Amino acid sequence: MPPEWYFILEPLIGMVVGGVVLVGGYKTINHWIERKHERSMAQLQGGLQPAELDRLKAQLEVVEDLAYRLQDVEERLDFAERVLSQQKQPERLPEGK
């Protein structure tokens, strides 16, 4: 017969082994779910990688800035046209006969 402490140690070892198996299984399943989620998000984004998405966001900011600057230039041009149209025409000499 095994010693008496073996009856106490055996369930403890079983619980530790069970815990290790459960934690390993949890990590494996969690990793699988994360990978599946990443693939789904990549498909929704049209297959863009994060670096490419960041590059496109930076280009969008540049385009928005250029649109703002273009609007400012158009306003200045309109103002200049109004000022020029309001100026008096110089009086001309009568045509010679």
Average pLDDT over residues 76-85: 88
What's the pLDDT tens digit per position in 22-70?
A: 999 989 999 999 999 888 877 776 766 778 888 989 999 999 999 999 9
Least confident of 15-19, 35-39, 51-55, 89-93: 89-93
Whether the Cβ atoms of residue 48 and residue 42 lie closer than 8 Å to each other: yes
φ and ψ at residue 93, rounded to 5 degrees: -70, 150
Cβ contact 48:56 at 8 Å: yes
What distance in Å separates the CA atoms of residue 15 and residue 92, rounded to the nearest whole number? 109
In angstroms, the CA 37 to CA 35 distance is: 5
User: Is the model's pLDDT at 2 over the cut of 70?
Assistant: no
- Torsion angle, alpha carbons of 70, 71, 74, 76, to 10: -100
What pLDDT shows up at residue 53?
A: 80
Q: Write down the domain spans for the chain.
A: 1-47, 48-85
Which pLDDT belongs to residue 75? 93
